[in-house]
Structure formats: structure tokens, C-alpha cells
Amino acid sequence: MLPAPTTTSRSTTGLLETGATSWAPSAAAAPHHPSPPPDACGGQLTGLSGEITSPRYPESYPNDAECRWNIGGAGGSGLLTLVFADFQVEGGQGCGFDYVALFDGPTTAAPRLGRYCGNTRPPRTVSSTPHLLLLFKSDFNIGGRGFKAHFYSAARGDDRNFSSPRYPNFYPNNLKCQWSIQLPPGYRVKVFFLDMELEGRSSLTGGCDYDHLAAFDGGTEDGSLLGRWCGWESLAPITSRSNQLLLVLHTDRNTAKRGFSIAYMRQVCSSSRRVQDAHAPRRA
């Protein structure tokens, strides 16, 4: 389906530098600033982690868009990991129409890590510098849902990974597995879902009755439930309230899937506010 024609203006896209970060107090002053144009996109993302979505996501992105998200560079030396949770961009030979391109540095002069279009989520990407540039371009017609991606910055070896048994092959039936993550006092555990496919919801109850993954705050299942998932879901990162987090995987007696892959890192701060990028979801 072709997107509805947009307004006559072709100047509503482009780089908008806001300098907003996860922890920047200046964002509190945002209401006093004029609203950016509705399709403004891109920006400088200096937080340790955050989310990027294409303009208007999950609605169809505008035509003639050019967005640059410059990730990193806040004096941190961590390498950047980028994981796409959702991806639907007009495809074509050589991705010549609409595409997402990733660069291993602050500008498009840096080595290109990949150029992607179509309906397949790009693979997880790790930079080799403390900068990562995400360029999104669309041509004059035919859009798509766009993309949603999560990034985090971690010094080499500072993040930890684990996955379900036999991942990426099907997990065994009749499992109950626990992963307990404990960090020194004062830290919180931040978990990123790199990939997840479990048996889907029950069509009878709509619940995750068969196989599911659950996260609890603290070291036991008595802690407060941070989330419970099944099926194929694109998951936002979760953060514990204490220095401990418990993940529990249950599988029932039949039907297995690929399972999950997770990265976690320590977060040392008291703010849990999410990164704001320059893209304004509100319509002017």
C-alpha cells in the first residue's frame, strides 16, 4: 500500500542536533523550546544506552527522509552494540531505494559496517570505535513501517552474554532453568534482549501458558516480576531495581523454538529515564 501523500514541504527531514542524552537535565527544559517539525529525525545520542526509531514509527516513514543518528562520543570509550528489534524498509537490488547504513565512526567517511533494506532484521552490530553512525534514507515513494533499534555502550568484555540451552537450535522440552545475575551493591542490572523466539501464547487464554521467560527483581522468584514473555516479541531492555536479577525459563512437554540470547551490563546510576532522540513522535 502506498503511503498517503505527504505535505508539499520536502524540508521537514534532516539532521537535528539536540544533544539530548539519558541523563541530561536540559531535556527538562524541552517544553520551553519550539517543537521540532513532525518528521525531524536523527540526533546525537550520548547516553550509555537508548532506542532509535525511524520517523513516525510504527507508521510508514516519510518519503525523501535523510536521518543521521550519531551514537556515542560522550567521552566514553565503550564500544557500541546495536540490535534491531523490528525492521521493514522498502527493499530493492543493492538497497538502492530506501536503506539503513551503519558506519564504524562518527561520519559517513568511516568504514561502512552494513547497508540494509527489506524485511529481514539486520544482524547485531558491534562497533570497533566509541562512535557508530546510523544513516537512514528513503526515496520519493513507497515506505514501510521502518525500524526500531536498541543500542548500548560497553567496554570490551564489560557486557556479558548468555542464551537458552542449545541456542540457536531448539531448546529442550520440560525445562526449568534459572540465571541469577548479581552485581556489587549500588549497581543495577540492565538486560538487553538480542533475540527471542519461544512457543507462542495460548489461543485459549491469550497468556504465556506453554513456554515462557520471566524476570524477577532480586535473587528469587519471590521478587517483584519485571516481565514475562513468550512467542516472538521485540523486547525493550529491562533494568532491575536492586543489584540482583533472576531470569527463569520454563518449557512444557512439546513444541520448542530457537530460544533467546541476552546481554546484560551493569548500570551505575539512579535515573531510569530513557534516551530521547531528536525524532518527535508528536504531530505539530
C-alpha cell at 36: 521540532
Decide if residue 22 touches Ca ion (CB under 5 A): no
Does the protein bind Ca ion through residue 199 (CB under 5 A)? yes
- As a whole number of angstroms, the distance between CA 52 and CA 275 comes to 9
Residues whose CB falls within 8 Å of the CB of residue 51, separated by 6 or more in sequence, listed in order: 148, 149, 150, 151, 236, 274, 275, 277
Residues 277, 154, 261, CA angle at the centre, nearest 5°?
A: 90
Strands 66-72 and 43-45: parallel
**Least separation in angstroms between CB 230 and Ca ion:** 9
Site for Ca ion contains 139 (CB under 5 A)? yes
Q: Which stretch binds Ca ion (CB under 5 A): 11-19, 65-73, 87-95, 157-165?
A: 87-95
Pick one of 24, 27, 126, 142: the residue that binds Ca ion (CB under 5 A).
142
Considering only the stretches 28-36, 74-82, 91-99, 274-282, report the one whose residues sit in contact with Ca ion under the rule CB under 5 A.
91-99
Q: Does 39 sit near Ca ion (CB under 5 A)? A: no
Does position 98 bind Ca ion by CB under 5 A?
A: yes
Hey, which residues between 220 and 259 contact Ca ion (CB under 5 A)? 251-252, 255
Strand order in the sheet with 259-267: 160-163, 259-267, 188-197, 238-239
Q: Which stretch binds Ca ion (CB under 5 A): 21-29, 129-137, 164-172, 191-199?
A: 191-199
Neighbouring C-beta atoms of residue 98, cutoff 10 Å: 25
- The footprint of Ca ion on this chain (CB under 5 A) covers a number of residues equal to 12
- The site for Ca ion (CB under 5 A) is made up of 90, 97-98, 138-139, 142, 199, 210-211, 251-252, 255
